[in-house]
Structure 1
Amino acid sequence: MSTFEEQASAVFDVLETKADVLVSDRATGNELYKVERIPHHGKMIFHRAGDQSSEPLAVFQHHPIVPDTITFAGGKSMHLSHWMIVQVTALAATFEEKGQKYTWMKYDNGPFTLLAESNQKRIASFEGKRHVQTPSEGSSKAALPHIIMLPEAEEIKDAVVISALILEHDKHWTRNNDESIFIYNIL
């Protein structure tokens, strides 16, 4: 367990099924979010688990020709870039929530790291599915994607989950042939 994980107030596991993404609290096992994926429409619909209202928390829509859109509960549809600005050359994605700016950064092979712009402090991380070596068995196994949040990120938990899953599932950071260079697939 890393020092960052030891400081965490929450660790969320991300489990993908054929049609959905389920986000649950690692400590309790309680499901916190359900994300409905409609791949042939390029859509992700975010719900809080157990929320009986018909209005989703957010709806992300990938469009192949025009800009992607996002609609938050009670709001109007907007271009994703009005909420989250992606800087391809810096491998960063910045969003504003509750009057503060936050930036997801990707460093080499590490997880996405969320920094609070006000103090440049790391407040969350997101690590996608990866293979972990098991020395005793001499093989590897898949580790679940997970989100680690410090107490400072709790206030914007919804935005952390939504932005991380949009970056991971619909805007993959992938490697090209050079081990040290990442490229952003879809703008």
Structure 2
Amino acid sequence: MDELITFMRARLDEDERGARDATPGPWSYDPGKEWYDGDDFVTMTNGQEFVGYGGLSPFRGAVCITGDAGHAQSAKDAEYIAAHDPARTLRETEARRRTLARHAPAPPTEAGRRTVTRHGSGPQTETAPLPNAEPPAGAEPSGAEPAAEAEPDAPPRCQHDGQPWPCPDLRDLAAPYADHPGYRDEWRP
């Protein structure tokens, strides 16, 4: 169970390291192909699309040349790369860490019950019985059908949505890393 969380944390750490090690942004795409290199103004004369850094204008340098100027695919590549600069990766990494924390397995509580947070009209926390769990000794009858004996190895549930863990949201969160050698087929959405 901990393997998926460990795997995801390691991938997010790698993503963050890569973003922090990259040329700081903001990265930009300027179809005019003018940029600054140090204190010298330079006009790109070799006809290349590129992603620059240091603000929209003036550029302080080029991060990446994507191909011939005026080539539709080179321009699309440059726009895409500029939109996915290190700052965006850092924001995405933090958002994914928060999601990962929300979708951890719920710890078992007394008498085979788990506390889960359900979302609908608004978040609320409830204690949900695990399959085949019995109420604690001396508990008042709830009017519900009595539960069977608690299973010591009951499958874990997601603390966020109560679904079997790993829940679909966590599987989706891990899916972009499916090409990593540590990714397991049982994590696929």
Which one has a larger percent strand, Structure 1 or Structure 2? 1
- TM-score norm. by structure 1 comes to 0.20
- TM-score norm. by structure 2 comes to 0.20
Structure with higher RCO (Cα < 8 A, 6+ apart): 2
Which one has a larger percent helix, Structure 1 or Structure 2? 2
